[in-house]
Chain A
Amino acid sequence: MTVHVDLLTARQLAASSVATISLLAPGSRYSLRVGETDRDALSQALDLALPEKIGECSRRHNTEILCLGPDEWIVLSPESDAGTIAQACAAVYDAAPHSLTDISDREVTVLIEGPKAAELMTLGCPRDLEKLPNGQGRRTVFDGVSVILWRDGPQRFRLDVWRSFASHVISLLATGCGELALE
């Protein structure tokens, strides 16, 4: 059965004494792939260093860059900044060849926050979350779905989920949110 969930309107999806689950407003997402030799040129073009270690994140104003792989980054920003990022990268393309792909429509972001948010995440995430420092993010798996997990604080997480898997992940989180509150 296909459950249609409105993924465009930012709102609270579920809440209990354990955690609050909300959908964030759409933003701009770019996937950036660039080789080691041209990385610094892209850092200068974006005026924000591309982190070199997988999982590390650099931030300026509302722009966040997370390192996902040895040559792969994701760039998040408000929709209003999307054009600036694309232009800045296009300007250095001849000198520093790279791939910048707009994946804004591919993913949605769910925010999980509350006194037992970390426990709620263990419902689908096999990682040891104690080893994920605050302010960092990782691409990982959540109940079989590839997601990007951001840890903004000890009990505050964001999940970037592919749009087609979002209804499954959201319903799992909402169920867990209710069930954990019963314990």
Chain B
Amino acid sequence: MLLIHCPYCDETLPEAEFAYAGEAHIVRPDNPADVSDEEWRDFLFIRNNLKGPHYERWRHIHGCGRFFNAVRNTVTDRFLTTYRAGERRPDPESLPEDGQ
């Protein structure tokens, strides 16, 4: 089982308390009526599916209930960092090599 650090509770807790919520930092167009069908399709469905450090959203659903962001290495399945929703995306250079 993965151990995930919730930035709101400030505790490292079992994965069973959390729910995965897809890739992070995807910006919804201000006015969906203005964008083309292709742009709207990309916003809805097209994801990076990265190999390596992946910026993703999680929700502490059986806990504080908050959404937050995490960087997880999709190869080793280790969490590099977690940070509150709304904070800037951490610089990849600043992330630890392996694990928190």
Contact = CB atoms under 8 A, between A and B. Distances in A.
Contacts of A54: 8-10, 64
Contacts of A131: 11
Interface of A, helix, strand, loop or mixed by DSSP: strand
Interface of A: 54-55, 68-70, 72, 126-127, 131, 138-141, 146
Contact of A126 (B1, B64, B65): B1
B14 A127 contact: yes
Interface in B41-95: 61-66
Nearest to A53: B10
Contacts of B35: none
B17 interface: yes
A72 B8 CA distance: 12
A131 B64 CA distance: 17
B16 A141 contact: yes
6 smallest CB-CB distances across A and B, nearest first, come from: A69-B64, A126-B14, A141-B62, A126-B16, A54-B9, A146-B62
